[in-house]
Amino acid sequence: MSPDRQFFDEMTRSDGGPRKVYARLAQWLAEAPPELLASRRSQADLLFRRIGITFAVYGEKDATERLIPFDIVPRLIAQAEWRKLEVGLIQRVQAMNMFLADVYGPREILRAGIVPSELVYQNPYFRPEMVNLKVPFDTYVHIAGVDVVRIDADDFYVLEDNVRTPSGVSYMLENREVMMRLFPDLFAAHRVAPVENYSDRLLATLRSVASRTADADPVVVLLTPGQYNSAYYEHSFLADKLGIELVEGRDLFVDSDVVYMRTTEGPKRVDVIYRRLDDDFLDPLAFRPDSTLGVPGLMGAYQAGSVTLANAVGTGVADDKALYTYMPEIIRFYLGEAPLLKNVPTFRCREPDTLRHVLDHLPDLVVKEVNGSGGYGMLVGPHATKDQIATFAAKLAQNPANFIAQPTLALSTCPTVTADGIRARHVDFRPFVLTGSKGTRVVPGGLTRVAMQEGSLVVNSSQGGGTKDTWIIEDEGGLP
């Protein structure tokens, strides 16, 4: 394998030898015959097809279900590196919860001028219905998926925060199960931190934030938009893993500000709803009246305190890409601490001087919509044509507040099986952070996404990216 030296390669040091945490894996890869890797790769594809892990891409003419490409070479992170990342993630999510409690309450950060008021009040995800509404344990973000990247041996950078309805945890769990079946010898050679207990931790987190009027054994359900949603597989997978009911809006009803689930034995009270449905569609009486996916009266029950929604309504304010640029200041304001994880340097196009700079340097920048996701609505300047750059410049000039820009990051690379053998491919990482009444925890692992095409920096599955299993190695220092 010959990694591109302009990028930090997570397995190989600059002198060509493996980093300590990768030593055993590097030796295994060097000794593994190509036909073994090809066979295991085919077996992995077959397993995923049998399991049924698929997704669909909205807006495509051929919206058939697809497999996300899976790479059989795991990504390894040493425990010492993981600890640094873990405490930084906990700090970030704690500050985010404090920020949401503040902007829907006393608004001290706005009065202090730390965050511009218009970024909150004009945000499409700001919900006036949440103002002065007390949520259990002041927890708005129960489940967070924070996208992080590496560009060197020492630092993790946060690329973006996902706190509305973060997805991908099913792939983390299924990737691990498939790897354990295909490579028991590799697992025997490493002490890999388990991720299998994520489901138990998630269920405990959800139960811990039930309202005080709930029974000692709160009833938790997972609310899905239905089988035509691109993440429906994950919804059904998680409901099964948690041992809770998977419900659609039509399966629930509200009576006297209490939510009930229709069952064959009659109505059953619901205490916590893990919702995988956007705010707009939750309740046609409160939000979009044309929604057939939600539950009429749900917002009234929520405001009455009889049911907990996870994540809370209105959390989208906190994962706006424009607000992301203020996260270092938010952490300092609420916690009085320096941020442990760095933000990617970001240009706020809403500021006139910054906009001029961005327009002058579009070929060198990545430009994103502040509310975009899935790799859509963005310009990757170094890989864009002159026509694409010109089109995006016009969009920027017309609505600059809708965009942020960032330098093209030198994302780290990991060894990946390709048609040409083991090659370095760019990766990012989405760990999952859980917050309940007993604090904030991070499962020791996460979803590594990999750009399967040579030179590509786009890891999103909707754009052709794949996934890897991520091993937190418990018995290695992992430093060069």
Paired sense of beta strands 143-150 and 156-162, if any: antiparallel
* Sequence letter at residue 360: D
Q: Give me the pLDDT at residue 268, please.
A: 97
pLDDT digits (tens, 9 = 90+) for 158-202: 999 999 989 999 999 999 999 999 999 999 999 999 999 999 999
- Position 292 scores a pLDDT of 94
Check residue 4 and give its pLDDT.
42
153 has a pLDDT exceeding 90: no
209-238 pLDDT per residue, tens: 998 888 889 999 999 999 988 889 899 999
Q: Which residue has the higher pLDDT, 234 or 54?
A: 234
272-275 vs 268-269, strand pairing mode: unpaired
pLDDT of residue 476: 53
What gap in Å lies between CA 103 and CA 100, rounded to an integer?
Answer: 5
Position 479 scores a pLDDT of: 46
Whether the pLDDT of residue 2 is over 50: the answer is no
pLDDT tens, position by position, 380-394: 888 788 888 998 899
Please report the pLDDT score of residue 161 as a whole number: 94
CATH class for domain 345-407?
alpha beta
Q: What's the pLDDT score for residue 13?
A: 92
Contact of 292 with 226, CB cutoff 8 Å: no
pLDDT-based confidence at residue 312 (cuts at 50, 70, 90): very high
- Supply 74's token pair: 């795991």
What pLDDT was estimated at residue 95?
98
Token pair 């089109």 is at which residue?
Answer: 391
pLDDT at 147: 95
pLDDT tens digits for range 98-117: 999 999 999 999 999 999 99
Question: To 10 degrees, what angle do helices 327-335 and 79-103 make?
Answer: 80
Dmax (CA) of the chain: 69
| Percentage of the chain modeled with pLDDT above 90 | 70
The separation between the first and the last C-alpha atoms of the chain, rounded to the nearest angstrom, is 18
d(CA 42, CA 328): 44
What's the full length of the chain, in residues? 480
Instruction: Tell me what the mean pLDDT of segment 426-449 comes to.
Output: 96
What does the alpha-carbon distance between residue 131 and residue 129 come to, in Å, rounded to a whole number? 6
Percentage of the residues of the chain whose pLDDT score is greater than 70: 93
Per-residue pLDDT at 63 exceeds 70: no
pLDDT over 80 (residue 372): no
Q: How many Cα atoms within 13 Å fall on the side-chain side of residue 332?
A: 9
275-279, 317-321, 373-377 — most confident range: 275-279
What are the pLDDT digits (tens) for 137-152? 999 999 999 999 998 8
Instruction: Provide the residue ranges of all domains of the chain, joining segments of one domain with +.
Output: 20-127+140-186+320-340+411-473, 345-407
Q: What is the mean pLDDT of the chain?
A: 90
Residue scoring higher pLDDT (69 or 100): 100
Residue 248 reports pLDDT greater than 80: yes
DSSP lists the bridge partners of residue 78 as 473
* pLDDT score recorded for residue 370: 82
Region of poorest pLDDT, from 14-23, 415-424, 452-461: 452-461
Task: Flag whether pLDDT at 477 surpasses 50.
Answer: no
| pLDDT at site 380 | 84
